[in-house]
């Protein structure tokens, strides 16, 4: 029997109803979780580690690095064939992406969660857990980086986004669709992935902010972030990456102070790059040393910047990483 380590962190999959308030709260320990789905222990030899039992809104970036260390230790154990992480769905894509960036992964690593607790109608925890183990046991799941298994789909960490607040079909792989699907006949992968670049950080820089732009935005939030010692900025700009003219003084200051500014888009799909030359468009911002983040969402671009700043890299090197990204 194959051996799989399960690392639990919390989320709806480990929640239940509070009888007094009627709300859904953290309840199940890692062990309780396994007891909900006895079938799992027939599929593989499971070893359990409870990292936390938290709503995923409470996780922090340093905790993700700690989690990555746990996963790495597990992967280094010869007898372990793969790792499954259970997680709240709200920030699952961030954890998946950070793990994908920092782990040099050959064995399958899967992250899953649930949109319904075991005490709710249409509970999806059991199916997601069973299908996650099925995915880990499939030889084709090796060398694919971190995979998220949820609602009969397999998503590569680099493309994964939670697109719906609470639907069972909440996750999508932006730009390309799921890398695989799961049905009664088994697991079916649809495309191959180039290997992810790997970053080996000792620590990460937490002082990196995301600012979303809207019609009429000026640079006040940028100035405020710089006043508060922000070390890196990620902007959610318009479309291909255009910016309103009024934010240029803030960006000029960021350049002067050596604070890297990464551009992502408010649009969900597609890439950002320099195309438009109109006033307030990219012609005016060419001298600002902005870093374009390809098709990365702002939350993923932020995690990458946190890791790169944690390594004390120059802006030139940081820019190279974004260019090399397989996203
Ligand atoms: N807010 C919770 C979390 O992310 C529940 C969302 C979920 O797990 O579906 O942990």
> In this predicted structure, what is the pLDDT of residue 22?
83
| Same domain, residue pair 282 and 163 | no
Distances (CA, A) of 259 to 66, 108, 226, 297, 308: 26, 37, 8, 20, 13
Do residues 157 and 31 both lie within one domain?
yes
Q: Are residues 41 and 145 in the same domain?
A: yes
**Greater pLDDT, 69 or 22:** 69
The pLDDT > 70 percentage for the chain reads 97
User: Residue 71: CB partners within 8 Å, gap ≥ 6?
Assistant: 7, 83, 85, 99, 103, 109
Q: What pLDDT does 282 receive?
A: 55
Identify the CA nearest to 36 among candidates 154, 172, 157, 129: 129
Across 63-72, 84-93, 142-151, 190-199, least confident range: 190-199
Distances (CA, A) of 151 to 123, 202, 285: 11, 35, 42
* pLDDT computed for residue 327 by the predictor: 62
28/248: higher pLDDT: 248
Q: Is 252 a catalytic residue?
A: no
For the CA of 90, the nearest atom of ligand 1 = 4
For position 118, which CATH number holds?
Answer: 3.40.50.1170
Mean pLDDT of 190-208: 93
Instruction: Report the pLDDT averaged over residues 31-40.
Output: 90
Tell whether 176 and 83 lie within a shared domain.
yes
Question: 305 with 318: CB under 8 angstroms?
Answer: yes
In a shared domain, residues 110 and 242 = no
**Whole-angstrom Cα distance, residue 31 to residue 54?**
15
The confidence score (pLDDT) of residue 277 equals 58
Q: Say yes or no to pLDDT of 4 above 80.
A: yes
Quick one: pLDDT at residue 19? 83
Predicted local confidence at residue 161, as pLDDT? 98
State if pTM tops 0.85: yes
pLDDT at 280 over 60: no
- Give the CATH number of the domain where residue 241 resides: 3.40.50.40
Domain membership of residue 248 (yes or no) is yes
In this prediction, residue 120 carries a pLDDT of: 87
Domain membership flag for residue 201: no
Instruction: Please identify, by atom number, the ligand 1 atom nearest to the C-alpha of residue 166.
Output: 9
31 and 156 part of one domain: yes
243 in the same domain as 212: yes
Residue 274 pLDDT: 76
Virtual CA dihedral for 201, 206, 208, 212, nearest 10 degrees? 120
- 48 lies in the same domain as 150: yes
Q: Give the per-residue pLDDT at 276.
A: 66
Give just the sign of the alpha carbon dihedral 211, 327, 181, 88: negative
Ligand 1 pocket: which of 53, 60, 88 to mutate (most atoms <8 Å of CB)? 88
Dihedral sign (CA 155, 46, 104, 204) = positive
Distance 240 CA to ligand 1 centre (A): 31
pLDDT at res. 8 = 95
Closest ligand 1 atom to Cα of 24:
5
Looking at ligand 1, which residue's alpha carbon is closest to its atom 3?
88
DSSP string, 123-152: --HHHHHHHHHHHHHSGGGTTS-EEEEETT
CA-based end-to-end distance of the chain:
35
Is residue 42 included in any domain, yes or no? yes
Q: Does residue 199 form part of some domain?
A: no
Region 310-318: mean pLDDT is 94
Whether 268 is in a domain gets the answer yes
User: Within a domain: residue 163?
Assistant: yes
**Number of independent structural domains in the chain:** 2
219 pocket-lining for ligand 1 (C-beta < 6 Å): no
Structure tokens that stand for 47 in this block: 């070893």
Per-residue pLDDT, 278: 54
Question: Are 92 and 140 in the same domain?
Answer: yes
Q: Looking at 8, 9, 12, 91, which residue is catalytic? A: 12
Flag whether 196 is in a domain. no
Position 112 pLDDT exceeds 60: yes
Q: Give the closest residue to 115 by CA, choosing from 171, 60, 157, 160.
A: 171
* Mean of pLDDT values over 306-325: 93
**Structural domain includes residue 195:** no
Q: Which domain does 162 fall in, by range?
A: 3-189
Distance CA 265, CA 96 (A): 21
Q: What tokens does 314 get?
A: 């120059």
Question: Across all residues in the chain, what is the average pLDDT?
Answer: 93
DSSP secondary structure letters along 164-205 = SSS-TT-EEETTT--SEEEETTEEEE----PPPP----S---
CA 12–ligand 1 middle distance (angstroms): 5
């Amino acid at each position: 029997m194959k051996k799989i380590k399960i690392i639990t962190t919390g989320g709806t999959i480990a929640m239940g109803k509070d009888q007094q308030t009627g709300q859904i709260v953290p309840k199940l320990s890692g062990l309780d979780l396994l007891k909900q789905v006895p079938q799992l222990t027939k599929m593989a030899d499971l070893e359990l580690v409870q990292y936390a039992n938290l709503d995923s809104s409470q996780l922090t970036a340093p905790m993700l690095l700690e989690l990555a260390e746990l996963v790495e230790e597990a992967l280094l154990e010869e007898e372990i064939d793969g790792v499954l992480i259970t997680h709240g769905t709200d920030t699952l894509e961030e954890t998946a992406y950070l793990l994908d960036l920092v782990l040099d992964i050959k064995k399958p690593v899967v992250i899953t969660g649930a949109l319904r607790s075991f005490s709710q109608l249409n509970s999806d925890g059991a199916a997601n857990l069973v299908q996650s183990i099925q995915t880990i046991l499939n030889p084709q799941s090796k060398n694919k980086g971190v995979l998220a298994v949820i609602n009969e789909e397999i998503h590569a960490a680099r493309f994964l986004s939670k697109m719906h607040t609470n639907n069972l079909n909440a996750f999508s792989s932006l730009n390309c669709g799921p890398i695989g699907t799961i049905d009664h006949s088994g697991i079916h992968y649809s495309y191959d992935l180039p290997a992810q670049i790997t970053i080996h950080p000792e620590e990460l820089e937490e002082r990196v902010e995301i600012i979303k732009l809207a019609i009429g935005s000026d640079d006040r939030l940028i100035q405020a972030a710089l006043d508060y010692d922000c070390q890196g900025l990620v902007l959610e700009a318009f479309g291909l990456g255009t910016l309103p003219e009024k934010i240029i003084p803030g960006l000029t200051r960021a350049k002067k102070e050596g604070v890297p500014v990464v551009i992502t888009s408010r649009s969900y799909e597609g890439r950002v790059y320099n195309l438009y030359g109109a006033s307030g468009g990219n012609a005016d911002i060419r001298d600002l040393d902005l870093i374009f983040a390809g098709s990365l969402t702002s939350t993923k671009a932020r995690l990458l910047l946190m890791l790169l700043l944690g390594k004390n890299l120059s802006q030139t090197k940081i820019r190279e990483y974004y260019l090399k990204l397989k996203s």
